[in-house]
Amino acid sequence: MAQPRQADPPGEGMFADSFIPPVHDPDSIDGQRLILSWYLVGTGRQWSRLLDERLRLASQTQPRWRVLAWAKMMPGINQTELAERMRISGPALVGILDGLAKLGLIERRPSPKDRRSNEIHLTDTAAPVIDRLSRQVAAIRDDLLQDVTLEELRVCVSVLDRIRGRINMISAEEAEGATPL
């Protein structure tokens, strides 16, 4: 099996990565913005694919893991909020919930606040599964970020937070009928 290629430091040989197109002026602000946008999308997909592969070895899927993680962090989360947080449709979530319920990992309970809504609760059977998956997910994260300093993480999170804020602002403007970009 071929060894994965080490990532080049920013600005050095970055065009060797097949997911980044050639940039006319990579040192300009426009060039760096273009490179960053491709890195964000490509890196997110690669991270997700690695996570899928590792979870599949544990007979789980990323969507199932995400449901279990949200249900652990927010006991009693309702299905509508869970679908919104996972950024998936209600029907797609129902299929995932059905699978987890068949495995005995979650149960749906009618919401005391709204009888039309169900809350998601973990069963006792879910605890060891979540613990095992949490360790796997943490190991992947730690492995991928092992050479990144705390300061670099803070800068990266700050930049990503500002990008997400702009995404939310643009989405809100478009929802209000503003002219799309």
CATH number belonging to the domain at 50-170, selected among 1.20.1260.60, 3.40.50.2300, 1.20.140.10, 1.10.10.10: 1.10.10.10
pLDDT at 3: 45
Q: Name the residue with higher pLDDT: 89 or 181.
A: 89
- Alpha helices of 21-89 — where are they, by DSSP H? 29-57, 62-73, 79-86
How many H-runs (helices) and E-runs (strands) does the chain carry?
Answer: 6, 2
pLDDT tens-digit map of 35-72: 899 889 989 999 999 999 998 988 888 999 999 999 99
Which sign, positive or negative, has the C-alpha torsion 110, 116, 122, 126?
positive
pLDDT tens-digit map of 74-109: 999 999 999 999 999 989 999 999 999 999 999 999
Cα torsion for 165, 168, 174, 179, to the nearest 10°? 20
- Alpha helices of 87-125 — where are they, by DSSP H? 90-102
3-state helix, strand, coil in the chain (%, to 5): 60, 5, 35
Residues near 145 by beta carbon (within 8 Å), at least 6 away in sequence: 153
Res. 20: pLDDT tops 60: yes
Cα 52 from Cα 101, distance rounded (Å) = 21
